[in-house]
Structure 1
Amino acid sequence: MQKKVQVIARDAIEPLHRVEVAGTVHELGTVKAFAKVAALAEFIPSHTGVAMSWVHLAGGQELGAHRHEERGMILVCEGTGEVFGDIERPLAAGDAVLVTSGCLHGFRGTGDGFWGISMQFNGSAFYDTPQTPRIEFESSSSRPVERLLARNDARIAGFSRSELVSLVNDPDELDTAVRERLLDCLQTWSDFFQRLLHLRAALTVDHDQQRVAVEHLAEELGHNDNLRKQRGGNHVACTDPILQAAMHWFKHAMMVGSDYERTLLMHLVLEASGEIFHEQASAVFGDMPHFREHGEDDGDHAAYGVDLLRRAPVALLPALEHALEAGWDMMTLLCDRMAQLARA
């Protein structure tokens, strides 16, 4: 055989991005099996039983929790990520993840994501036949974070029937005086919300959550001033003690909570409630673009939190459940109080 050196570029290997198991599509990130290239397949001696694939998860991408009967190994070559399931820990270049038979595990990319090499030892890779991959995905309905999100959906539904939403949905009740008092309350809350955005960005430590916090701050910056300008600069600050106490509860929670609790309160509670309110208010305050524009943004902002919370360690879920319930209780109190003050 002629002696020669070959270079097989990673980009030359055909990628696989998803598989379907029992009617459910599962995202894989990127999987590039060596067996897809004849030169690579022939070069690895068949008697070793080793099958190899390049694998990649971009920042924020996740390979859901799953199990397989045979052992496997992931060598992290570049970038950063996390492994979760039966073990929860960060991954960096040079780490080797040893997966034994039947254990629950999944991976996600952090920062800019990671590239690794996945190895199996029975002669074929897990996804050599994508129609029948040799893995079993954990049911998403059994994941604790999904239960948290389901509870959040229930609180969102309850908030849609709150006093504040009911008020803006009743044009007969929203006369000029009520409208102006409500706008004073909303301006007071909008000014305070800017402080919460800065506080969250300043205190968040986790790289991915800090990146989202800073991006969120940049997108929201000055929205309170837009509202003030659209009112012609008219604003009487609301000093009602109940309203002030409810607002400062969120300030305290941002100061003492974990990064995940701050993310939950900001996106699942504050932004989700804002989406509901601004969507309804945009019809009533049609002369003020602030409400329509803010409502359009809030849906995207709320989704940021869902992506981040899917990464939360299982051990944090009791604290997150408590923060969720307390956050919605305080948000409902705050908004009900604004409606009461507007009607007064």
Structure 2
Amino acid sequence: MTEELTLPKQQMDTALLTVSREDIRAISSVVVDGQTHRLGQQRDFRRNDQLAAFLPETGRLSLAWVRLADGEQLDVHQHPTKSMILVCKGSVRLLGDQERELAEGDTVAVPPGARHGFVTRPGEVFEGLSVQFEGSGLYEDETEPRVRFDGDLASLAELERYNAERLEQFGRHRMFELFDSGRVTADPEMRARFVNALYVWSVYFQRMLYARQAVCADPRLREVYAGHLREEFGHDVLLKERHGISETVYDPILEAVGNWFVLQMHGADEAAKIVIVHMVVESSCQVFGERTGVAFPEETADDVTYFDLHSEVDEDHRELGRDHLRGLSTSQFPHLMRVCGQAWDQLDVLFERIATHMVR
């Protein structure tokens, strides 16, 4: 009889983990909109309990082994998150928006909404690694795969689902952990560093709304934008005066991200502007106001803080422009999916930089 060895927790946390490919549960097909689509062989790392526990949930990375036998095909499809495919063994032909032969060592970077698929030639086998950088893996939950195959173009509903996924991910940002733990509430210097860095973004937020209003040629949308601007006007001044901000933080990363949002108002179409401002920024602002306001309580019953304003009014602001999006053709949504992802990527960089200022 063999005695079971129990390691101390510290040793367990530092022990190496070895998992064979065969120990990751494989699936070979998924059902999307009532139709079965063949995948070849797909092994998402999170289907193994040990790997699922090892992989981080914050800044969530998803990985899966993929395999196509000779002559097998993964039909052309698209998904709302960026992805990379690394060819580890054999060769395969890339299908969809770009067609070319891939060999061992090649990498394919797939933006959100891009059409792509793969097929092997008779007698050849393809084995690769599929990587996603946010949210769940494409087939991590095979009952609800995050893909749409050709013939099922992206829609407003798909865009909303993707935005909700990124919003949920944003809610796990490390900056909010500082507030949830009580550190910000207890540390006046940390609160000061936070509002000083936040003020940079608040100024750029105002500039973004000014720029959009200045160049809008659609009279109906111009009125919608004007109402939004009136309700947001002066919030940067409120933040500055309420918290006595006297020195403006100079940070090239904060400046670059702020300018990205302003420049989109000059070059993007109106649908993209609505996605950036209302679906992404205003959604993030509502969560931001709710999660950070705990460290900045109201001083009197009639007092309304900068953080209270964002938690209260941004729920309405995030719905502005939806009528315009509902009138779009399905062919426009793959582009809007990419815009949505880019805007969330920029916000992730922004708040990561603010968090860095806080803990200095």
* TM-score, normalization by structure 1: 0.56
Q: Cα gap change, 1:165/1:179 in structure 2, threshold over 3 Å: closer, same or farther?
A: same
Deviation at 1:173, TM superposition (A): 4.9
CA contact (8 A) 1:268 1:305 kept: no
Q: Which residue of 1 aligns with 2:283?
A: 272
Q: Which residue of 2 aligns with 1:134?
A: none
* 1:165 is the counterpart of 2:176: yes
Deviation at 1:142, TM superposition (A): 8.2
* 1:201 is the counterpart of 2:193: no
CA contact (8 A) 2:254 2:353 kept: yes
Distance 1:147 1:330 in 2: 21
Residues 15-57 of structure 1, C-alpha deviations (whole Å, 9 max, x = no match): xxxxxxxxxxxxxxxxxxxxxxxxxxxxxxxxxxxxxxxxxxx
Distance 2:224 2:201 in 1: 22
Deviation at 1:289, TM superposition (A): 1.5
CA contact (8 A) 2:154 2:334 kept: no
Q: Cα gap change, 1:316/1:143 in structure 2, threshold over 3 Å: closer, same or farther?
A: closer
Q: How does 1:1-344 map to 2 (within 5 A)?
A: 144-174=155-185, 175-231=187-243, 233-287=244-298, 289-344=305-360
Deviation at 1:315, TM superposition (A): 2.8
The aligned amino acid for 2:275 is L
Deviation at 1:168, TM superposition (A): 2.2
Please list every run of 5 or more consecutive structure 2 residues that lacks an aligned counterpart in the other structure.
1-151, 299-303
Distance 2:231 2:194 in 1: 24
Residues 297-335 of structure 1, C-alpha deviations (whole Å, 9 max, x = no match): 111000114343222232321221110000000011101
Distance 1:217 1:300 in 2: 13
Residues 270-320 of structure 1, C-alpha deviations (whole Å, 9 max, x = no match): 111000010111221114622112210111000114343222232321221
* TM-score, normalization by structure 2: 0.54
Q: CA RMSD in A?
A: 1.8
The aligned amino acid for 1:300 is D
2:246 alignment partner, SS class: coil
Deviation at 1:237, TM superposition (A): 1.1
CA contact (8 A) 1:268 1:306 kept: no
Q: Percent identity?
A: 30
CA contact (8 A) 2:283 2:315 kept: yes
* Higher alpha-carbon Rg: 1
Q: Cα gap change, 1:315/1:235 in structure 2, threshold over 3 Å: closer, same or farther?
A: farther
CA contact (8 A) 1:196 1:254 kept: yes
Q: Which residue of 2 aligns with 1:109?
A: none
Residues 56-79 of structure 1, C-alpha deviations (whole Å, 9 max, x = no match): xxxxxxxxxxxxxxxxxxxxxxxx
Distance 1:265 1:221 in 2: 18
CA contact (8 A) 2:290 2:308 kept: yes
1:272 alignment partner, SS class: helix
Distance 1:168 1:328 in 2: 21
The aligned amino acid for 1:225 is V
CA contact (8 A) 1:185 1:338 kept: yes
Distance 2:234 2:227 in 1: 14
Distance 2:162 2:306 in 1: 30
CA contact (8 A) 1:205 1:259 kept: no
CA contact (8 A) 2:184 2:295 kept: no
User: Aligned residues, how many?
Assistant: 203
Q: Which runs of 4+ in 1 moved over 6 A?
A: none
2:212 alignment partner, SS class: helix
Please list every run of 5 or more consecutive structure 1 residues that lacks an aligned counterpart in the other structure.
1-140
